[in-house]
Amino acid sequence: MSLPGPHEFIEGCVDHSSFTSKLLHEAAQRCGYRFMIEPEFGYVGRIEANGRRFLYKGGLFDMNTACASALTRDKAYSFALLKEQNLLFPKTRSFFSPDFEAFAMLRGTAKALKFAEEIGYPVFVKPNEGTRAFGAHKADNPDQLCWALERSFGRREGRVSLVQDFVPGDELRLLVVDGTVELAYRKRPYLAQADGQKTVLELLKEAQRHVLNLKGGRKTFDLDDARITDSLRRRGLNLQSRPEEPFLLSDGLTLELGNGVEILDNLSAEIRDSACRALKAIGRYGSVDAILTAKQEFYIIELNSAPGVTGLASLGHRERAVELYCKVLRAYFEA
């Protein structure tokens, strides 16, 4: 029997398939659909049923248009969509790195400092097209804002960066399929338990073990992860420091750095409606990231047309992730 060539699809999954491929394969089997994969890398595939094909590449699914996906990658434009729907979002403005000389003269660091002064500190800085909290920083004063912008501007996707009003509260993610919130969770921040005795290096190694435990020993972060080293610099810490107060490993709550999740099955109808209205502007499937304040105000901070659920699945919620993918596939093939 001859082996498939490098660009031939085969039926079923392969051992080295991406985690997303394995979750989709499980969902397709559960739904009774045919699953095909490119076997060399296990990253691209398709699902077949009812004479139709559902294509995917990584976390990109055949559910939304290319234009909708491009709009959600550009956070500044996505806020314009939210404004049209009269939805709450933090006061936000985009600013340009020196690479865009003409635009930077009009809206560069000096204008960002003025904007921050108008809305008040703290503010949050992040690349306009970034993901997974890379380049995201909280700034408590003008010096920190200049540093945060320099770091964000230095990333390819951060040559246009956003400065936002910092809204305190719980960070939520809601995943929507065809106008229904099918899964929602709260991100639970992991705090390095500093006590004035342990060094930062010891605290980071504790955090690494915590992540390994959460993910069943499969994977943890590197000590030189830029999200962590940037966060330490902002706090004036190094590996030999002995901080006295607990601190977040990163200013952005990404699940890769030890933050946990709490599944939310009883969100209010108002919150669910806000999420569905936000996603309606971009397509059939996606996620809404939001801050829920102590006053139950729902501030949308980001839309995503290709949300990943591998982090959620690796934190003990694989069944919920697979069931979500079942709903995505059924919506595609049976709607």
Q: In the prediction, which pLDDT does 3 show?
A: 55
Whether the upstream peptide bond of residue 168 has omega within 30° of 0, thus cis, is no
Query: 67 in a domain, yes or no?
Result: no
- State the pLDDT at residue 1: 45
Contact yes or no for 324/183 (Cβ under 8 A): yes
- The answer as to whether 24 is a domain residue is no
Contact indicator for 47, 39 with CB cutoff of 8 Å: no
Domain residues for the domain of 222 are: 190-258
Structural domain total, the chain: 1
What are the helix (H) ranges across 74-199?
75-84, 101-106, 109-119, 142-153
Residue 235 lies in a domain: yes
Rounded Cα distance between 267 and 184, Å, is: 8
What pLDDT is stored for residue 37 in this prediction? 95
pLDDT, residue 155, reads 75
Cβ-based neighbours of 1, under 8 Å, separated by 6 or more? none
Instruction: Return the bridge partners of 263, or none.
Output: 185
**Relative orientation angle of helices 109-119 and 142-153, to the nearest 10 degrees:** 130
For the beta carbon of residue 238, count every other beta carbon within 10 angstroms: 12
Residue 277 lies in a domain: no
Residue showing tokens 């919620």: 317
Query: CB-based contacts of 110: which residues, under 8 Å, 6+ apart?
Result: none
- The dihedral of CA 280, 285, 289, 291: what is its sign? positive
pLDDT along the chain (335 residues), means of 10: 65 89 96 95 94 92 84 85 91 89 81 96 89 80 92 78 94 95 91 92 89 68 82 88 89 69 94 94 90 96 89 89 97 90
pLDDT score at 293:
96
- 245 domain residue, yes or no: yes
In a domain, residue 317? The reply is no
Q: Would you say residue 250 lies in a domain?
A: yes
Any domain includes 327: no
